[in-house]
Structure 1
Amino acid sequence: MDNVDLNVLRQLVHWRAEGRRVVLGTIVRTWGSAPRPVGSWVAVRDDGAIAGSVSGGCIEDDLIARIRAGALTLKLPELVRYGVGAEEATRFGLPCGGTLELLLEPVTEHSACEELLRRLDAGQRVRRELDLATGVVSLFDEHGADVLRLSDTQLISNHGPRWRLLIIGAGQLTQYLAGMALALDYQVLVCDPREEYAEDWAVSGTRLLRGMPDDVVQEFRPDAHSAIVALTHDPKLDDLALMEALKSPAFYVGAIGSRVNQAKRRARLAEHFDLSEAELDRLHGPIGLAIGARTPPEIAVSILAQLTAERYGAQGSGAEAGCEV
């Protein structure tokens, strides 16, 4: 679930708390080009107010018109299709020939939306199973990849952060980086065994770990959807994390520090931790894209920009950001 759809859920829960009737739409299939991916959400309130998007706006307009006309008084989930032909595709804002199916469900006390939001706000991965015959939703812990599967009897979808970020150090820069990363669909964990930093950590939606960095990285079990960033400036902590991270499948490993300090770090890691040249070459440092960043929030932006470039295989320039911090 991306941050856009999380905001849809948040708005939906707010409307429900006000006693409003809400219909939730989920894109379950697309053919040809489609403006939004499978799994995207749109919520329509009983007076036509809308949250989220599944098209360029025309499908939303149709849903608004139908609910205002009383045509969406659903009792159970219902599957609708938009844009079967070129004429309809044009009418509903889809590229010519594009088609999408939308599962519309009336949101009730059986939809478990409040509990789903609570779990997602806690950074959990959740599997949502909607029974099409009853409209009842069941929630389960989930650790696998993204799934959206529609059958004759149920809709199964996975929600929650698809990417994980482990940050070593709970200083000021980490507060900005953690907050921004949450908005980019990361589950954020922060490791800092130092009492003076850990006691004041208070970024909602993140989890603070108090173990030593090497142990925490091992327990984190990095995979190809994981990033590890060392921000303490303390070799005793950063190096412990890096020696494990650089041997892992993590898609990104980085550490803050000047070019001079990065060279010293590389020498230490090679000498004391038996890391190969190939493993050392995976280390991003100085960390972040070179955007002229100086302040902690600017440096956080540069780091997340580099993580995003790595995620999508984009070619970004090297970093000087925060190199003397």
Structure 2
Amino acid sequence: MSAGDTDAPAQLPEQAEGYRRELLAHCYRMLGSVHEAEDLVQETYLRAWRSYGGFEGRSSLRTWLHRIATTACLTALEGRSRRPLPTGLGAPASDPDQPIAENHEVPWLSPVPDTLLEADPAGVVTSRESVRLAFVAALQHLPPRQRAVLVLREVLQWRAAEVAEAMGMTVAGVNSALQRARAQLREAAPTLDGVVEPTDTRQRELLDAWVAAFEAYDIDRIVAVFTKDTVWEMPPFPQWYQGAADVGALIARQCPAQGPGDMRLVPVRANAAPGFAMYMRDPVDGTHKRFAVQVLTLTDAGVAHTAMFFDDELFAAFGLPPVLPSGPR
């Protein structure tokens, strides 16, 4: 604590803590990383605590906290590269017969567990589309200030005048930035609104079939769960694949599993979508160890998109152990 902090109030009002989850969602949309978003939420509360003595109540506490969070995110984004998925790099779909190699130089987009975004009192986080992986990936194509304008206007539903005041812009500047952001978003993700979710019954059928196929390591059954033009990507590998046959070939040739029982799947929810934490059997000690987190996009026809994240730290974010307990399921 610096000497300048000694006159700050001991704590923010109790209700400030109630906005933590929606602030996390806001920072995640801006940054594309759950780990960085959590850090920026902590930074937001620290800045709010330090400056609460100057809060005059001209806006709601919620709006004031979001203003601080937006400023903190924009500062964090200065000079940084965007966080893409492999499909956002501009390269064509890869050949499953070619070797794959990780690229840790790219600051990849990561998923956010739904458990971190639930129970939002203002109802903002429960707007499912605003945390969809495809939407957050598309946001990363926008310059940071355009990204902030679009999120504040279209997700948080702020008036143009509120955004202008928060970001030191004119109302005309906000409207212009929003127009450019919308156009760029449509260019980056032209099919963003084209996915129609299956019924709950069909979704359950697809997810059950997915688990059964992977845990049996049955390539034909895995391929059958995909849509014909399914997309598969797996950061930090920059390659991505399209088409059920190519994805099946990739899994058959590149997956370290050797047979039934090598993979175990634990259901998770991420980015308002179903997914699984995948554990792979260790050939030495036989235990199932953390391997990857899958986030799925489902349609009536099957799994249309799979994002498979190879990031061990995600397991802790989802509250999952690094090694599954042995014994019956």
TM-score, L = length of structure 1:
0.29
TM-score, L = length of structure 2:
0.28
Structure possessing the higher relative contact order (Cα contacts under 8 Å, 6 or more residues apart): 2
Q: Structure 1 or 2: larger strand share?
A: 1
Larger Rg: 1
